[in-house]
Amino acid sequence: MFGNLFNFMPKPFDEGYLPEVDGHRVYYYQYGNPVGVPVLSFHGGPGGSSRPKYAKLFDLKKYRFIQFDQRGCGLSLAKDLLYRNDTSYLLQDAMHLLAHLHIDTPVIAHGVSWGSTMALLFAETYPQAVKQIVVSSVFLARSEDYMWVNADSERFYPDLWAQMREVYKSKDIFKVHKRLLFSDNEADNLIAMSYWRSYEHQIGLLEPKFEKKTEISEDLLNSARISFHYDEHHFFMNDNQILRNIAKIAHIPTLIAHNRMDFCCVPKQAWDLHQALPKSQLQICGGYGHSTPALLKAVKKMIRQNEK
């Protein structure tokens, strides 16, 4: 029965744009009960977009589930994609959204992957605005966390790295990728999207394979550029910022779930977060992959159990 749970997506009871700020018009969605317990959900990425499937983690008869497309993402509009597009501005957008919706009671901060980073940062920035935190596929954005993908994962995928270096004609994949990704030449963009941009989706696979793309949409290209922009600037965070400021949210009940074999965000991040939060619960699931249906099932169960 659970296999069909995330196949049927809920419809928002409200959606629209926030007033323009900094040349950005942020798009938001609301699902569930208009007077229910508010859940503020942050999507993954950076460069991802809202996903209605996450609304189904919560009983929509009881909860008011709110998502928004971060600057330059999804349906959000930008006069300049990367202008004032960093973590601090995303947090401000989240507070603007709550004010726009006239929500002045504490919310549940929810997020998956990069969304978990944002949910934790939001709680640390505005602890008075958060009553509970629910995160999965945790990404703490420490140097050791992003260097896992950007360097250390080569120990498992030396063949993919050798292939990328051959295509890029350089040992410095990151530098060449930036030039190709931000080039005005579509052929360069296609190479960037076929290799380094797709590498994150290859790690964890037993038989990974790059497939050369022949076309790419503007939305996907913008998503990749936003992702690189954040990665290049170390996600606009001080190193270990979340754990260094963890005392600000030590009082907030937190639910954490992570797959044992998550090659994108290794489970040590969820463990370290759990160890730092005295009011947290952690479930490391026997799953393979990043954000999977089985992991979402575990999150849904944890939420239900903590309602009692």
Q: Which residues are catalytic?
A: 113, 262, 290
The pair of structure tokens assigned to 274 is: 């759990």
The candidate with the shortest Cα–Cα distance to 265, out of 123, 121, 153, is 153
Measure CA of the first residue to CA of the last residue in the chain; give whole Å.
23
Torsion angle, alpha carbons of 273, 279, 285, 290, to 10:
-40
Rounded Cα distance between 299 and 256, Å, is 8
The candidate with the shortest Cα–Cα distance to 138, out of 305, 262, 9, is 262
Phi, psi of 124 (to 5 degrees): -70, -30
The pair of structure tokens assigned to 159 is: 């063949």
Which CA distances in Å does 73 have to 39, 70, 85, 129, 141?
Answer: 20, 5, 11, 25, 20
Quote the crossing angle between the two packed helices 87-100 and 114-125, to the nearest 10°.
70
The pair of structure tokens assigned to 80 is: 């300049």
- 3-class SS at 110? strand
CA dihedral sign, ordered 130, 109, 118, 75: negative
Rounded Cα distance between 131 and 40, Å, is 11
